[in-house]
Structure 1
Amino acid sequence: MQELIKQKLREIENEHELKVLFAVESGSRAWGFPSQDSDYDVRFVYVRKPEWYLSIDDKRDVVELPIDERLDINGWDIRKALKLFRKSNPALHEWLASGIVYRDELGFRAELLQMGNELFSPKTAMLHYLSMAKGNYRKDLQGDCVRIKTYFYVLRPLLACEWIHKYRTNPPLLFQHLVDELVTDADLRREIDELLRRKMAGDELDLEPRIEVIHAYIDEKLEKWSACASEYTDSIPDCTARLDALYRRYLRLAWTK
């Protein structure tokens, strides 16, 4: 699959006349809890030729190519990515931190990673992960029987909230890292470990009786982080000049290589 993904990225470059600066895996594979049939969610940042940006018209700044049921590829233009980075966009921070890298050109990703914590907004990140947890909880974890694989999509953002509250930094991408650092209750840890083992072994994890110890933890943390989310304030420095310079530099580098 890696070779297919790299081939698709080359095809995107040729078809759309762009250069991919980095491409990574996102979603369950990057988070460390894929199922055997998990799809591949490839995310990338790209740069167009200089003349593309010199236009009086606004232009589409994303490339989205669902290839098939197992492969989904989409990317953001460098200018869109840097605008979102300036606002401490959590999704982009996750792309940058992914341990599954398909393309990494010219040092762009490394530069943003180096700036990541400096431009990190605890408020933005807390609200992002709390919203994610609440949405998945409402959708799939109501009633006596629930889609128990969705526990991961609620537990991970709640643990990310706890990390942000405790350390005031970007949370680790890997679910296991969050669990190892933050889950201290033995019964809860045992249930999470077993659920993770089953998911990665390919067991069908659809509707099953809810797991009370996990559900209790989720209810407690949803209430806690909802109550304290308003306490966070933004204090991101204005980095527009630095990001403008970085943008211009990579616009040159990408097309003089």
Structure 2
Amino acid sequence: MKEIIREKLKEIERMHNVKILYAVESGSRAWGFPSKDSDYDVRFIYIHPPSWYLSIDQQGIGAKRDVIEEPINDLLDISGWEITKALRLFRKNNPPLLEWLRSEIIYYQEYEFIHHMRALESDVFFPNSMLYHYLNMAKKNYREYLQGTDVKIKKYFYVLRPILACQWIEKHGTTPPIGFHELLEDSVEEGELKERVEELLHRKLNGEEFDLEPRIDVINQFVEREMERLEAYAKSLQGTVEDPTSQLDELFRKTLEEVF
């Protein structure tokens, strides 16, 4: 499958006259809990030739779109962000983008762009926005899937992972790792809760299909307690970060010069 994805990326470069800088797997495969029918969620960052940027129309307006999205099929979901869009989101400490930087499934990486971007991460890290992103994700999925007597058991992972990511931010003050198991090991002590989560993870990784099942009270209680506690913690945080725009402008210019 990796070769198919790489060929698709080369095709995108030809069709759109761009250079791809970085392409990775995101979603459940990168998080460490794919289902047997999980598709491949490929995300990439790309750059246009200099002439594309030297015009009176700004990126992202009209025909100058700042995303490339391929039609989704049952196997492959592939889309990318133009470099200046990616850097603006990086400036905002965008969690999905920071997860791309941590993905261990890398399909393509060229030039020095990603190395420089990772080196600047501490300059843009702002725990408040990241905490609210993960907390809102957990609350939304919990509200939609896990409040009945019978629930969609596999949805527990889409609530637990953002909660564990919040706990990592609270504990370490850094961007959380992408892997679910690493987050679990860091935050959850040995006991019934961890046993039940590991049992679900084992079933999911072995391809067992989940349907509606009785909810797992020990997990629900943990989720409800932590969502309330973490929301209070997020509200208590103060602080700002210095504007990194000049550094990101320089990174964009250097990358444009290196690639073209």
Alignment correspondent of 1:253: 258
TM-score using structure 1 length: 0.97
| 1:211 partnered with 2:216 | yes
Contact 1:20–1:45 (8 Å) recurs in 2: yes
Deviation at 1:234, TM superposition (A): 4.2
Q: How many positions carry a matched residue from both structures?
A: 255
Q: 2:247 aligns with which of 226, 242, 245?
A: 242
| 1:119 partnered with 2:120 | no
Alignment correspondent of 1:103: 108
Secondary structure of 2:77's partner? strand
Deviation at 1:166, TM superposition (A): 1.0
Alignment correspondent of 2:27: 27
Deviation at 1:35, TM superposition (A): 1.2
Contact 2:112–2:255 (8 Å) recurs in 1: no
Alignment correspondent of 1:56: 56
1:55-204 correspondence to structure 2 within 5 Å:
55-57=55-57, 58=61, 59-204=64-209
Deviation at 1:185, TM superposition (A): 4.5
Post-superposition CA distance 1:111-132 (Å, at most 9, x none): 1112212321100110000011
Contact 1:132–1:154 (8 Å) recurs in 2: yes
Secondary structure of 1:75's partner? strand
Deviation at 1:89, TM superposition (A): 0.8
Contact 1:134–1:222 (8 Å) recurs in 2: yes
Contact 1:122–1:233 (8 Å) recurs in 2: no
RMSD: 1.0
Contact 2:123–2:244 (8 Å) recurs in 1: no
Deviation at 1:167, TM superposition (A): 1.0
Over the matched positions of the two proteins, sequence identity in percent amounts to 52
What amino acid maps onto 1:30 in structure 2? A
| 1:10 partnered with 2:15 | no
Tell me the distance in 2 between the aligned counterparts of 1:110 and 1:247.
13
Deviation at 1:16, TM superposition (A): 0.3
Secondary structure of 2:70's partner? strand
Unaligned runs of 5+ in 2: none
Deviation at 1:107, TM superposition (A): 1.9
Large movers: runs of 4+ above 6 Å? none
TM-score using structure 2 length: 0.95
Against the structure 1 CA distance between its residues 234 and 30, is the aligned structure 2 distance closer, same or farther, given a 3 Å change threshold? farther
Secondary structure of 2:249's partner? helix
Contact 1:30–1:99 (8 Å) recurs in 2: yes
Unaligned runs of 5+ in 1: none
Contact 2:139–2:227 (8 Å) recurs in 1: yes
